[in-house]
Amino acid sequence: MMIATFSCIVDDITVKTDSITIENPAGSATMKIGETLNATVTIAPVNATDQTFTLKSSDGAVATVVKKNSDQCCGVYDITITAAGAGTCNISAETSNGKSHSIAVTVQANIPVITITTQPAATTSVTAGSITGSLTVAASVTEGATLSYQWHSNTSVGNTGGTVVTGATGASFTIPASLAAGTYYYFCEVGATGGAASVRSNVAIVTVEADTDFCGGSGTSDNPYLICTAKQLAKLAELVNSGTEEYNDKYYKLVNDIDISAYGATWNDGKGWIPFGVEGTPFVGNFNGNGKIVSGLYINNTTLRAVGLFGNVNTGGIVYNLGVEGAITTNGSYAGGVSGAFNGGSIINCYANVDVIASGSYIGGVVGEFILGSTMINCYSTGSVHGSGSFVGGVAGDIQHGNSSISNCYATGAVTGGSYVGGVIGRIWSGSVTNCAALNPGTAITPAQAKDQDFYEDMGWKFGTNDDNPWQMGTGEYKLPALYWQTSFPEMPEHLE
């Protein structure tokens, strides 16, 4: 039997790469900074023996490229292109045998976006001849761009068109002091570097009132003189103090909360506010505070007798529905947050948060001296009161000379003085004080009693929502009695917590 032997020689067969192609399924190779683009690299033929390839970016600051899968087979490979910075570059792929392909990638800079975060005040009222204040806008922008501002004036309510206000290129725009009486419209156009689209603010309406003594009214009970500004309030003091009778016994009404700090430490040679109703020309008119607050009261006067927002209020004078806030320092006597002295007048539904420091006597949180049949109803004080002399009280320093009366009142501030010192009244020489509470430091009322409505009702106090039932208990942190007309409450005194 013969056995045949055969030999077979098999050549090493290598399939060469013919081409390599970068394919972009998205179609466009335009990107924004930070974006990624998924593409593929295809090698032909699919069975090419050596499918290794390298990826390159002509400018890594514009875009980078990486291969997502490491296995070299099957002819199709995923790659990721990441946009790094604005510009154009080529992304290329090259096989080991020199076949290559590239695509162009364009990276666009991200366009900043502006957002106005605070609009200018919708309405602002000023008085011709004493215009102060500004309009302010706040904005944010993306991409680290730099903001710019340009204010415009307009002839109507609208933020299109308009006229550039020369030099008004900040976030705040000072209202021109030279404006005449009338209505003006302003808006701000906010821009930014980096090609951002500008954004325009809402329109701010500025009303310039004529420089008149009052902002309306004729001084009658049906049509009282209206007081809108600190300047008009100071003008009333000037008219009363000059003895101008046609204004002294008229009716007045506050329209706004008024800050009189402009008549403070830099006014009147540093002496501050000049009260209306100085010695010899007392106030005998009807002053309706209208639930408004006069703040910024500052008096540092060693010469005036009777100091407060008002000086002397005499028979026929009435002050009601008013809040006063500030500070008084005097070397004299007769000082109170609302008035230095009531000589037959009336004060109703008022409060004072005024720190009073005086070297003399007859010093009170609301009124200094209270005489000649004066009447006080539903008032309170929260400021501290100090008088080096006599007759110092949290509400009034002294009540005497006639059938004067004080009812439904309280005080929470510290009271110190020389002699005749009281949490509510320093001295009662004549007259009456009813349903009043000394809630000051050192009070004989315990914290538990002070916060117990039954404690007050047992003394005859009436709780409700009107003049006949004028008391309520505070809410929130303030747990003490308050007056029915109060819509907010003072801070809770620490000594009664």
Res. 3: pLDDT tops 80 = no
- What average pLDDT does range 104-131 have in this prediction? 90
Say which residue, 141 or 7, is predicted with more confidence. Answer: 141
Could you tell me the pLDDT band of residue 69, with boundaries at 50, 70 and 90? confident
Per-residue model confidence (pLDDT) at position 92:
95
Separation CA 313–CA 178 (nearest Å): 38
3-state helix, strand, coil in the chain (%, to 5): 5, 45, 45
Give me the domains of the chain, ranges plus CATH numbers.
Answer: 19-108 (2.60.40.1080), 114-209 (2.60.40.10), 225-444 (2.160.20.110)
Separation CA 489–CA 497 (nearest Å): 15
For 141, 175, 187, 202, the CA distances from 117, given in Å and listed in that order, are 10, 21, 14, 11
Alpha helix segments (H runs only) across 259-402: none
* Least confidently predicted of 38-47, 55-64, 486-495: 38-47
Could you tell me the pLDDT band of residue 289, with boundaries at 50, 70 and 90? very high
Q: Distance between the two ends of the chain, CA-based, in angstroms? A: 124
Kindly report, residue by residue over 167-195, the tens digit of the pLDDT: 999 999 999 999 988 999 999 999 999 88
Could you tell me the pLDDT band of residue 8, with boundaries at 50, 70 and 90? very low
Res. 213: pLDDT tops 90 = no
Could you tell me the pLDDT band of residue 29, with boundaries at 50, 70 and 90? confident
Res. 28: pLDDT tops 80 = no
Say which residue, 69 or 202, is predicted with more confidence. Answer: 202
Kindly report, residue by residue over 308-356, the tens digit of the pLDDT: 999 999 999 999 999 999 999 999 999 999 999 999 999 999 999 999 9
- What average pLDDT does range 30-45 have in this prediction? 91
Kindly report, residue by residue over 252-278, the tens digit of the pLDDT: 999 999 999 999 999 999 999 999 999
Res. 5: pLDDT tops 60 = no
Per-residue model confidence (pLDDT) at position 109:
84
For 66, 110, 311, 315, 359, the CA distances from 60, given in Å and listed in that order, are 12, 18, 80, 90, 80
Mean pLDDT of the residues in the chain: 93
- DSSP assignment of 147-187: EEEEEEEESSS-SSS-EE-TT--SSEEEPPTTPPSEEEEEE
- What average pLDDT does range 401-423 have in this prediction? 96
- What average pLDDT does range 276-291 have in this prediction? 95
Res. 21: pLDDT tops 50 = yes
pTM over 0.85: no
Burial of residue 88 (CB within 10 Å: 0-12, 13-18, 19+) is: middle
Separation CA 398–CA 376 (nearest Å): 13
Separation CA 402–CA 84 (nearest Å): 89
* Least confidently predicted of 3-17, 237-251, 446-460: 3-17
Could you tell me the pLDDT band of residue 458, with boundaries at 50, 70 and 90? very high
Res. 487: pLDDT tops 70 = yes
Kindly report, residue by residue over 85-98, the tens digit of the pLDDT: 989 999 999 999 99
Coil, helix or strand for 237?
Answer: helix
Per-residue model confidence (pLDDT) at position 2:
55
The rounded percent of the chain whose pLDDT value lies above 70 is: 96
Phi/psi class of residue 435: alpha, beta or left (left: φ > 0; alpha: ψ in -120 to 50)? Answer: left
- What average pLDDT does range 184-213 have in this prediction? 92
Res. 240: pLDDT tops 60 = yes
Separation CA 483–CA 108 (nearest Å): 67
